[in-house]
Structure 1
């Protein structure tokens, strides 16, 4: 990933926005309201865009290269993580032209295992932190969680915001927590870990809240904003991801600073993934079509992409043993 500026401050024209809880609340509630009907209609149009043959092949390889291949289960073992890492580095053992994934995402206690398994590859190690997925822990515990993952070798940290504080309107508390976690991503003598901030859109309930959370996280210095943990009923959807892409576009117009976007949870098919890539291109342009600025948080998506890729090359689908079961 491209190295972000360290602990960026809000742009000059936004410096006073975070001066107090009241100022931050005024700013966030002063953002334009979301036209839900228009947003969902736009997402529906983007989802139906047809991508054929050569363009589809390029889109499949691009989507593969953007995947944070994920295992976040209580039953995770070192063997499972090593197997997932091997798949991330060589997604298709029969075809060396298939690109590696962007990262392997694990719990903090599996970071060292993943780091060792990925040594010598370009695949990053991502770790969830801050009492994932609920985020219900005191701040010192969340910071210790983050520091331990970074010390073990995590290149990227996926934190969850305190949704209770956010929904109660305690925006400055959420802002300060994100800033503190970003500082905990520092690695003395080396490149800081990149910070992805997870909103859990399904719990934020409204599009207006998703827009506010997007701006709040970007003001606090997030390198990526992420839809969800994958652990609730409503995770990534094209409309809520499109809204986040629009927030990134508007934030960059004001500050000049780019921010990545990561939809996670529920994206399982090649058709779904291509719909998201179309949304990225139409909203932010070609420059965002890179793993540095867009990711998919997924476990099963990779298998469908590999199956579709093989179908394009051979004209037929392979049998059930063509891909591994994650």
Structure 2
């Protein structure tokens, strides 16, 4: 198990290193001169030259990359070009909002997708199977922005049950926080629930047709106990899919937070791109990539815990 963990950690660090290079080069490939953005209304050459020298924009790209990485590992992502606030401070303020939204969306996805997948597999060919499959197809097909606008129209404008937009911190008013996060969490969690439903159904059907289940059935094991044992062996697939879908939740949060005007990480990236705020774009995307790599590392370790054969194979190779 120790060898397996070391291999996965090294692979995660290598992935993060490559991602940092891609982010660094990608930001510098954006059209426009960062010096012009920093200069504001002043466009004289002396001001632009001073700005390029101050921020190291005239240095070779390897030097710029080394300076950026050496500062980033210390938590220093530079200053926002818009309001001169440290990027790390902006990230610390915005990240908890997106984490809360993502956690709520995962809860919604698990609460809907896993039970629906179990019901669909156990009642294969029945009304529950067709209903769950239809709902899963609906969840996969409907775009987040359309579902978000429809939810606002129905629950905020027509029924007036929930606020249409805005955000209130959980420490400030927990009840109001929940009221304002319900619609975004349901909209974001719908697609996840559809994916989890289909994967749970497929994995559970495969386990229910396995030899050990047929043997247990022939010995008189009850149906609930049979499903319980098969479900446990199906969790490895569900955990893997859930980890991979967290990346999709982050990208979906960009649209959802914009629709519901939630000051989270997704909206921060959108606003930074529109304002050509390069330090914020660079820091936010790098933190997002680091979070995604960390999530996948945790998924690998969880998968190995649930499936001992995997860690034995990983150690031997």
TM-score (norm 1): 0.26
Bigger fraction of residues in strand: 1
The answer to which structure has the higher helix fraction is 2
Relative contact order (C-alpha < 8 Å, sep 6+): which is higher?
2
How high is the TM-score relative to the length of structure 2? Answer: 0.26
